[in-house]
Structure 1
């Protein structure tokens, strides 16, 4: 605006040295020039508004795309978790059906004798029997409970055994059960209990183990989808006992 006023002022001074006719002609020229400049300024303002509008539209579209991408990622994670659960369930069913069919067929062929036997109330799996206790007791008392049956707290040594136990706990809707493992001797070095052999397979829940020296005993926990947690050994959970099955299966 300042440049425009200066321009008009200079033009006015310039007109002072001309005749009346020449001044009018030049004044009309300046009027048209100012009109064009005013229109150009309006066009520029409109162009700037259009640019701002387009920029806002792009920002809105970008935010919408980011939101949709986040939603898609959440759905993808949920789908992956659901698919993994279905695969795990299918694997358990296939394993159980195959084992049952194979045992039946071998028995019919006379290759297998009487199936592996477990005491009443105990659940067989592979070469072990498992007992799911009903009373909540401290870790050491849970071990004593198992010893009354010539058994110990469960020592989990493979993914298949762990998967079997998790499925059993889910069926029972059992909230918490002790696992025979501790890091009492040295923090972070988990040992089977009571054998004190190294634990080589783990299935910790999210952010577990997390309680350091306060928690030295392992357990299944429903809130963690029956993954493992570390807990104070003085907490009271149900025992989960394991003993070797009677030698009822023999290969001739």
Structure 2
């Protein structure tokens, strides 16, 4: 596993070195977003490799989200940085989507960092085009978005330009909008979309 980590760092260093001359060709934001996306993909691949090592050898590698009893994420869930994610294919309104997550002892995803957000967006791009609910709503107070069932607002946001805009006065729930490259958008909570559930690894 140490070798994998070293190779990962070498790849990132090499990429930075080779890309330095190309930075002037694109905006700084776009360049940084590309780098972050590659780092996230490498980290996710590293976790997948660790999971494979664990399942074939029965050993728990350093940094694995599995504990000594090999308690990991359930089948069908994707692991990343100690959390489990389920990409629900069932279309449901916001509250129903949350209840679907609760059935798995989870909740609609609460995004806490740019790297987590980038990981989720990268995965969504590989799925069929659709909007996906996130657990963000301002239903209690217009303009003040909080995580549903959790009296705390987001420390990181990725709203698309001009969003949230509460179009028609009825958009109170957050969604990954595929038409906006999966940046955040507000939508009517009654709309029916797919969703992303999240829970901590056991």
Instruction: Note whether the superposition's TM-score is higher than 0.5.
Output: yes
Q: 1:93–1:240: structure 2 CA closer, same or farther, 3 Å change rule?
A: closer
Q: CA offset at residue 92 of structure 1?
A: 1.8
Q: RMSD value over aligned CA atoms?
A: 2.9
Corresponding residue number in structure 2 for 1:171: 126
Give the CA deviation at 1:230.
0.5
Which structure has the larger Rg over C-alpha atoms? 1
Distance 1:77 1:208, change over 3 A: farther
Which structure's relative contact order is higher, taking Cα pairs within 8 Å and 6+ residues apart? 2
User: Which residue does 2:190 correspond to in 1?
Assistant: 234
Give, in angstroms, the shift of residue 96 of structure 1: 3.3
1:218 lines up with 2:174 in the alignment: yes
Distance verdict in 2 for CA 1:89–1:196, change over 3 Å: same
TM-score norm. by structure 1 comes to: 0.59
- The alpha-carbon distance between structure 1 residues 85 and 116, as it changes in their structure 2 partners (threshold 3 A), is farther
**TM-score normalised by length of structure 2:** 0.72
Which residue matches 1:181?
Answer: 136
Q: Which runs of 5+ in 1 are unaligned?
A: 1-75, 247-252
Structure 2 equivalent of residue 155 of structure 1 = 110
Moved more, 192-201 or 129-138: 192-201
* Alpha-carbon shift at residue 174 of structure 1 (Å): 3.6
User: How many residue pairs end up in the alignment?
Assistant: 170
Could you tell me how far apart the structure 2 residues matched to 1:223 and 1:192 are?
Answer: 23
Q: Equivalent of 2:88, from 123, 133, 144?
A: 133
Of Structure 1 and Structure 2, which has the larger fraction of its residues in helix? 1
Structure showing the higher strand proportion among its residues: 2
| Residue 198 (structure 1) shift | 1.9
